[in-house]
Amino acid sequence: MRTALSTIVLIVLLAQAAPAAGPDNNVEWSGISHIALLDRTPLCPLAGQSFAVRVQSWMSDLTSVRVRVDDGGATFVSASLVGNRGPYDIWEAQIPAPAGSAIEFVFELNDGTDTDYLSPDGVSDGLPPAGFAMDFTTLSHAPYGSTPTDGGGVVFKVWSPNRTICHVRGEFNGWGTSNQMNRVGEDFILHVPAADDRDMYKYYFQNTTWNTDARARALSPGDNYNAFVEDPARYDWQVEDFDIPDFEEMVVYQLHVGTFAGLNDPFGSAPFPAKYVNVTERADHLAELGINVVQLCPITEFPWDFSAGYNPVTQWAPESYYGDPDDVRAMVDALHARGIAVTHDIVWNHFSHSDNFLWNYDGTQYYFDDPVVDTPWGSQADFDLDGVRRWFIESAYMWLGEYRMDGFRMDATEFMNIYPQEASGWSLMQWLNDEMDRRWIDKINIAEQLPDDSWTTRPTNLGGGGFDSQYYDHFTDRLREEIIAAASGNPQMWVIADILDGSGSYLSGRYVTNYFELHDEAWPSSGGQRMVRTIDTTAPHDDEYASGRVKLAQGIVLTAPGIPAILQGTEWLEDNNFGTDAENLIDWSHKTTYSGIFDYFRDIVHLRTSSPALRADAGIEIFHVNDGSNIIAFRRTDYGGNDVVVVANFSNTDFAGYRLGIPLDEDWIEAVNSQDSKYMGAGATNPGMITPDAIAQDGYSQSVEIALARMALVILTPADGAGIEDPDEPASSIRLHPPYPNPAAHDTRIAFYLAEPGRARLAIHDVAGRLIRVIGEDMYPAGRSELLWDGTNHRGDRVAAGVYVIRIEASGEEALRKAILLR
C-alpha cells in the first residue's frame, strides 16, 4: 500500500496563515495594512477637505486605534471598528479638514498594553520619524491616473521621469493645451476643475508626443486609445460579505468571456464576442454546476476584439469590447451572490507585439530595458525599475480592492525571472505574494509554472516564490498520456498512482492545481484540441470511448488531492475547441443533448465540495494497483470520520465481479458511477448496500466485490460515515490526523495514533508558538485515540478566531497539524 499524508510545518503556518489574534498585549504585525489607493476616502482630498483613512488588522487583534495627525502640531483622532473582511478587522478614522497646506499622519495600534505604529516604512515599536504625507499644494498624495474629487473636477497624475513639459488634453478642454501640468519630482500632476467622470483624455509630452494614461482604468482602443476618467467608487456593491471558499475546498472553472455565451443559448442571444453582462446573466448555470471559483482568462485590454487575452497592452483597464468597469463589478457581484469566487488571469511576463503604448511612453524609453528583454510572446517590462514594479503591484491592488477579485492565476511564471532579470522578476512575484499574505491571505494566487518547481510554492521566508498553488504539469501530462494509452489497452496504473501521490513538499495537496485540459490543451493555436476530438475523430466526437474516458479522467481530477480545475464546456462534453473565433463558442445545446454528462459533473462537483475527505489536503492511500487489469483504487480520508473510496477502470473490459479491499468493515454505497445510464453510460452499477466480506485483501481485513464497467470511475462512501481502520501502521511511532471539523465553529475532534503504548502530550499553540492549552497529557494505548478541543484556552476562555497549531509529542517525536477556529 502507498500512503501520502499532508505534513504541516510550523514555519509554513507562520508565513501563510492568519495568526491566532486576540487581546493578548501583542500587536500582530503580519496583518497590519494601509494602502492609500484603497484606504482613503476620497482618494485625493483637496485643501480644506475632511477625509477618512482606514487600517486593516487581524480580526480581534487590536483593542483600539488612533491616528496621529501632524499639521504643525500633533493631534490624535480615534478610529472606530467599522467592519470585517474575511479574517480581518477594518478600522476607520475621519480626519478633520487640515488647517495647513500639508500634513503627515501615522496609525497608533493598540493591543492592551502593547502600542505600535504604522507609517510608510511599515510597523514599528516606536513613533516613526515620518508619516503618510499629504501636500495640498502639489497634490503629490494623489494616486497615479485620473481621480475624480469630491470637491469637483479630476486630479491627473502621470509618471514621466525624463520630460519637463506635459499637458492633459481631453473633452473638458476641447483637446487643447490650456491645462499644463505641474512638475513634482518624477511626476506631472494637475487638478482640472472642468474635468468629470467618464471624460476622455490623453497626455501630451514635450509639445510633441501624445499618449494615453499608463494607469487608465478604462480605454477606448477604437478612438486612438483615449483614456476615460473612471470613478472606482461609483458602483453600488450588492454583496458586502462574500466569504471566499477555503483553498482546500476550491473547484476552479476556467472561463473565457468572449466565447462563453451565445451559441444555441437558452439564456438568449449574445453578441460575439460575448460580454461581461452575458456571464452575469448565466451565473445561475455555474451555481447549478456547483463550482465555487471562476478563473477568468485575461480581461485586461488587448489589441482588436478577438483574443484569449494573453497579449495585454495594460494591467489596469479591463477589455473594453466586453464592457465597462462597472460591468466587470456587476459580474463579480452576481457570482459572489451565488457563492462563487472570481479570479483573474494576469499576464505580467510580456506585452503584446502590437498596440504597446508603454513603448517609448513619453518619447523616451523607461518601461522597457535597452536592449529589450524578449520572451517568446513579446517584450518584458523593466522589472529592475521601482516605478515599473509599482505599476504592476498597484494594478494587483486595484483588482483585489476596487473589483473585489478573489485572487489570480499568473501566466507563465517560468518567464517572469529570465536573464538578465532573474532576481528582479523573482522578487516582484515575492512582493505580490507577500502583500497578498499580509492583506488578502484568504485570496489565492496560482502560478502557471511549467515545468513544475517546488520553489514556486515554497514560502518567501524560505526563499520561495510564495504562490498558494501551481499548475501540476506532471499530473496533467501523465494523465493525458495514460488516457490515450487506454485506447490500446496498455495504460500504466503505477503512473496514475505516482501523480496521485504528489511530488513532495510544496508539490502536493493544495500546493498543486490539477487539470486534464484547460485552454492550452484544447487550443489549436497551442497545438492542442479537445480530448473528445482526439479520442473520437468523427463529429460529433461523442462515442462511448470519448465520453467514457473523458468522464474517467475528469473524475480523477475531481477526486485527487490538490485543487481541481476544468475548462468551460467540460460539463457537457464540449467538442468545439478553445479559441477566439465564433467557431470556438461553447454550444449550450449540449447541456440538453448531453444532460446526463452535465448531471455527472454536477454530482461529482457536489461530492467534492461537500465531503471533507475530498479536500485538497485530505489524506490519500493508494491501496490497489492492478497493472494487469488496468485498475486502481484509492482512499481519500480526513481521518475524522469521513472516507471516500475511488475505483478507476482504465481498461476496455467489463468486470461483473471485481474484488478489492475496503477500509471500513461496514456497509458502503455507490455515490457516483461514471458509467451509470443516468450519466449516459452503458455499464453495470452497484445499487443498494455494498456489504464487505471477511476476506482480507489490499492490506485490509475485509473486501467487497463490485461490478466495474470499462472506463468506469466509481466512488464509494460509507453508508453511515462511522468507523475508521488504518490498515498500514506508519513507520514513525506517532501519527496526528487532521482535526475534524476544520474549520470549526465550536468543537473540533483530534485523533492520533501511537505505535506503542506510552505517554503523549497534545497541545494547542498559536502560530507564534505561544501555548494556548494542553488538552491531553497522559498514558495512551497503542493505536488510535481521540480528544476534543472546545476552542478554549487553559483558563476556559473562548479564544479568538484564527489559525492554531495542534502539536503532539510522544516517544521523542512530534507532529503538527493546522486547525482553523471560526468566530
- Tens digits of per-residue pLDDT, 323-356? 999 999 999 999 999 999 999 999 999 999 999 9
**Better pLDDT: 367 or 791:** 367
At 812 the pLDDT is 85
Q: What average pLDDT does this structure show over 252-271? A: 97
pLDDT confidence bin for 472, thresholds 50/70/90: very high
Flag the least confident range among 35-49, 72-86, 311-325, 749-763: 749-763
Give CA–CA dist 662/647, Å, rounded. Answer: 11
Question: What is the chain's percent helix, strand, coil content, to nearest 5?
Answer: 20, 30, 45
Q: Give residue-wise pLDDT tens across range 527-574.
A: 999 999 999 999 999 999 999 999 999 999 999 999 999 999 999 999
What SS3 state is found at 480? helix
* Residue range 561-616, pLDDT digits in tens: 999 999 999 999 999 999 999 999 999 999 999 999 999 999 999 999 999 999 99
Closest to 126 in 3D by CA, of 111, 114, 140: 114
Are the CB atoms for 256 and 310 separated by under 8 Å? no
Q: Has residue 69 got a pLDDT over 80?
A: yes
What is the distance between the alpha carbons of residues 210 and 189, in angstroms, rounded to a whole number?
17
| Residue carrying C-alpha cell 480580526 | 59
Q: Has this prediction a pTM greater than 0.75? A: yes
What's the confidence (pLDDT) of residue 22?
Answer: 63
- The answer to whether the Cα torsion of 564, 567, 569, 573 is positive or negative is negative
pLDDT value of position 823: 52
Per-residue pLDDT at 729: 36
d(CA 77, CA 522): 57
Q: Give SS3 for 715.
A: strand
Which pLDDT band, with edges at 50, 70 and 90, does 397 fall under? very high
CA-to-CA distance for 771 and 630, rounded, in angstroms? 50
Average of pLDDT values for 142-158?
A: 96
Residue 44 and residue 140: Cα distance in Å, rounded? 9
Q: Give dist(CA 375, CA 351) in Å, integer.
A: 9
The alpha carbon dihedral of 791, 792, 797, 800 has a sign of negative
pLDDT grade, residue 743 (50/70/90)? low
pLDDT score of 130 more than 50: yes
**For residue 15, pLDDT beyond 70:** no
Does 642 score more than 70 pLDDT?
yes
Whole-number Å distance between alpha carbons of 802 and 806: 13
Q: What is the 3-state secondary structure (H, E, C) of 330-363?
A: HHHHHHHHCCCEEEEEECCCCCCCCCCCCCCCCC
Q: Report the pLDDT value the prediction gives residue 802, as an integer from 0 to 100.
A: 76
- pLDDT score at 741: 67
Q: Residue 138: name the closest of 181, 202, 195, 94 by CA.
A: 181
Average pLDDT, the chain: 93
Label residue 820 by pLDDT band (50, 70, 90): confident
Q: Which helix H or strand E contains 513, and what residues bound it?
A: strand 512-515
- Mean pLDDT to the nearest integer, 660-686: 96
The residue assigned the cell 490515450 is: 484
